[in-house]
Structure 1
Amino acid sequence: MEGYLKDEMAVLELHKASNVLYPNESILVHQQSWTNEFLMKSMESSRASESISTQVDDVLNYPFKGDLDRLAHRRNIEQYCTDNTRTLKSSFRCSSFGSEDLLKLAAADFNFCQSVHQKELNQLMSWLKEYKLEDMRLAKVKMGYCYFSAAATYYDPELSDARISWAKHSLLTSLIDDFYDIFGTAEEHLNLLELFERWDVNGPRAEFCTEEVKTFYWALHSAICETVENAFAWQGRNVMDHVVELWVDVLRTMLEEAEWSRTNTLPTLDEYMRNGYISFALGPIVLPSLYMVGPQLPDEVAKGPEVHHLFKVMSTCGRLLNDCRSFQREAEEGISNAVSLRMSQGIDTAEEAIEEIKGLIDEQTKELLRMVLDERNTSAVPKECRELFWKMNKVLHMVYKKEDTYNSTKLVQIAESVIKEPISLSVMDSRVI
């Protein structure tokens, strides 16, 4: 093995493979650990070539569970080698790789998709203005990030309906979460919930208690109706009841958490998590998008136990990732989350509680990957739909990798690299592997 261990490229590929982890795969965990250590030492010793050093840096900074597809595509294009020759026992150059034509085609495709994304983002900004959301707390900035998370995961031009639905519902969950957490009143919270419990596609059957409730209602009404109309074109049936039900569930759990805060009620950790995986509000973002990625999805599958389990595992990861990053801020604001509640059960420090919760996140992430990559033909959920849960999980791991904030300079740069900055081949260097 010693000869192979001098080949950084071989170890790099082994490290990539070791990141595809299912539960209880201790051999791969060990493999991941030593390949990670080997690559880091290789970088420190300056033994690796510039090309390999760049790839190693990418793999270590963008782990499999937090690397969005479009970001990886851009890096691959920018690092693509048009002189792909390797020396083994003899020099070898494959005619189907290292092609300048392939490089030009890949860059042109990326830039074309990016032009489509820019048009869609402009449409979303016009929608913000039309429904009087643009002046709400960081609404324009949040819309950019919400759309980026969609464009970076399913970027094909024909999936526009899914991207628009994802972005609009993602923004509304964020704004309404702030409404329930920070500036709304108990009357407003209940009023908004009751309006959707008595849903009428033609408009509300009750009055709005404030202008803020009215604004949220009509913006959400618009997003729901558009999503349902687009889903009909893909599925050939009306999914209105399902989409409205998802929002009612989220509003109920947000109201429950607002009541805990108002009455200084401290829930148990189990109560918090039963409520929290729904109030994290990924349901209205991901589940309606399942109807618009291609395959037919019958009601019994869309509302069945397998989709719910995928959703629960994904949302539990998201809730816990958020709580680990936002613990300090929420503790100062007097808001309970999984970290503080675990500390109330006997964990001495926040650091110990966070490490324990990170272990749970790791196990849940492995379980989600196992379900998504199930090749035993035992799943009733089409693969394209299962993959959507993993794609959202990758968004969550990327967003909460460093900090819980919409003002991260790094996140701005990442978003712009997908949506705004075209790839220019004229400034790319040829790299030799």
Structure 2
Amino acid sequence: DDTAMGLRILRLHGYNVSSDVLKTFRDENGEFFCFLGQTQRGVTDMLNVNRCSHVAFPGETIMEEAKTCTERYLRNALEDVGAFDKWALKKNIRGEVEYALKYPWHRSMPRLEARSYIEHYGPNDVWLGKTMYMMPYISNEKYLELVKLDFNHVQSLHQKELRDLRRWWTSSGFTELKFTRERVTEIYFSPASFMFEPEFATCRAVYTKTSNFTVILDDLYDAHGTLDDLKLFSDSVKKWDLSLVDRMPEDMKICFMGFYNTFNEIAEEGRKRQGRDVLGYIRNVWEIQLEAYTKEAEWSAARYVPSFDEYIENASVSIALGTVVLISALFTGEILTDDVLSKIGRGSRFLQLMGLTGRLVNDTKTYEAERGQGEVASAVQCYMKDHPEIPEEEALKHVYTVMENALDELNREFVNNREVPDSCRRLVFETARIMQLFYMDGDGLTLSHETEIKEHVKNCLFHPVA
């Protein structure tokens, strides 16, 4: 219990500790125990080992074994009422177990996890800490009261920010665009769920505005614009020139003018915060993004199915997470030198893994619907092109395996990449995690009203803690 918790906490605070310590707590049958000679295991012990197992690095067999063993134990415990009555010293350990199994670490956003903990918190829990460790206030009614006040206060700030962003969407004329999706609330939920502190208000606004443009332009390049129109839009961004606007269709004019005005404003705010001109940096980030969109549009027009590797190289960029993070990072409260930016830049493994995991989880939940709409390229389809002898189920399994391995590597980058400021590391890593949540059961962005994302948004932004 303590060892697993210590391993997890040390890793999350940048200490590169070995997972071999868990081998001490495994018997000859591969089952985990709390102490030598233990005949029965406790729910809280196994829950802590399970939480620890998700902070795994590539190739750590012991962590994978711990995850498999504890998941099996905890799922069995949920079916055995007596397991909780016998072992649990906490008010609602069953609720904690249910949450941990449904939302393991890569899907558990800090704001949602905090709310879940508040709801499961027992101020009168008879913990060993209150007696054996002489910690009488470890569970306390006053703590609970204060944390509820704080949660609701921050939520009220988020609601004000969201109202401002909705006004921005309307004043930019985007309500007139019939080809795209309006997802301001769902998109704002993303940064609010992990960069939730009041001091990150501007970062959340920039993250939301940039993300909305990735949705608008993805829809524009994916299905709405002709290749000639898309080339004109890309040239206008590259030249940062309003003279080409008159040649654009009306809806594309709205897109470009909103884009031009918004990112000029963001660049001016970025200049104040970074002490240097950042417009060129922002434009370059977007030029790379539009090149990736254009390549996908050309593939679609030609009905071309690339190889898996060729697809992944472009699709890890076209998912647009890198664009959102690289611009938002300017507003995390840190002065970012070119050297620091390069460590989370397009060439960094950290950013590549974020884009890769985001693309793969997206594809696993959207490829069937997009194939029905005529799309020919996805991770699954491209892998099947490389391996025509395998069935679709095996290709899908391979994509999941690649993603799980990449998430383990992302863990290592997050823990060990200490040359990057903590707020920037959070931004990259949590953006990867929010994608795992959005696409847990389906396309949580496009079909947000049909998935659990709808409830997460309400709990994070609208429903105060009672």
SS of corresponding position for 2:452:
helix
Q: Name the structure 1 match of 2:232.
A: 191
Query: Does residue 393 of structure 1 match 2:428?
Result: no
Provide TM-score, normalisation by structure 1.
0.91
Give 1:325's match in structure 2, choosing from 365, 368, 391. 365
**Residue equivalent to 2:20:** none
Alpha-carbon deviation of 1:53? 1.0
Contact (CA 8 Å) 2:245, 2:253: kept in 1 or not?
Answer: no
Question: How big is each residue's C-alpha offset from its partner over 1:148-192, in whole Å with a ceiling of 9 and x where there is no partner?
Answer: 001001011111110001111111101211111112222221111
Aligned sequence identity (%): 26
Distance 2:334 2:41 in 1: 46
1:5 is displaced (CA, Å) by 4.0
2:103 corresponds to 1:65? no
Map 1:165-314 onto structure 2 (within 5 A).
165-200=206-241, 203-204=242-243, 207-304=246-343, 308-314=348-354
Deviation sequence 1:270-298 (CA, Å, 0-9, x none): 22122111111112211111121122210
Structure 1 residues 54 and 93: alpha-carbon distance in aligned structure 2, compared to 1, 3 A threshold: farther
Please give the alpha-carbon distance, in whole angstroms, between the structure 2 residues aligned to 1:63 and 1:337. Answer: 26
Comparing 26-35 with 287-296, greater Cα deviation is found at 287-296
SS in 1 for 2:464: coil
Partner-residue secondary structure (3-state), 2:79? helix
Of the structure 1 ranges 81-90 and 7-16, higher mean CA displacement relative to structure 2 is found in 81-90
In the alignment, is the contact (CA less than 8 A) between 1:139 and 1:171 conserved in 2? no
Instruction: Provide the secondary structure at the position in 2 that maps to 1:271.
Output: helix
Alignment RMSD (CA, Å):
2.1
Aligned with residue 357 of structure 1, among 399, 402, 416: 399
1:22 aligns with 2:57: yes
Indicate conservation of the 8 Å contact 1:306/1:381, yes or no. Answer: no
Q: Which piece of structure 1 moves more, 406-415 or 56-65?
A: 406-415
- Partner of residue 23, structure 2: none
Distance 1:274 1:188, change over 3 A: same
Count residues with an aligned counterpart.
419
Inter-CA distance 191–75: structure 2 relative to 1 (3 Å threshold):
same
1:140 Cα deviation (Å)? 7.2
d(CA) in 2 for partners of 1:90 and 1:286? 46
Residue in structure 2 matched with residue 48 of structure 1 by the alignment: 84
* Secondary structure at the counterpart of residue 137 of structure 2: coil
Gaps of 5+ in 2: 1-34, 86-90
Instruction: Compute the displacement of 1:380 (Å).
Output: 2.9
Deviation at 1:393, TM superposition (A): 0.9
Partner in structure 2 of residue 431 of structure 1: none
User: Conserved in 2, the CA contact under 8 Å of 1:84 and 1:97?
Assistant: no
- Going from structure 1 to structure 2, the CA distance change for 1:61 and 1:98 (only over 3 Å counts) comes to same
The answer to whether 1:134 aligns with 2:169 is no
5+ residue gaps, structure 1: 425-433
1:221 is displaced (CA, Å) by 1.6
| CA apart distance, 1:309 | 2.1
Look up the match of 2:199: 158
SS in 2 for 1:152: helix
> How many Å separate the matches in 2 of 1:34 and 1:7?
13
Q: CA deviation at 1:412?
A: 0.8
* Matching residue's letter, 2:334: P
Structure 1's consecutive aligned runs of 4 or more residues displaced over 6 angstroms after TM superposition are: 88-93
Q: Out of 74-83 and 296-305, give the one that drifted further.
A: 296-305
Q: TM-score, normalised by structure 2?
A: 0.85
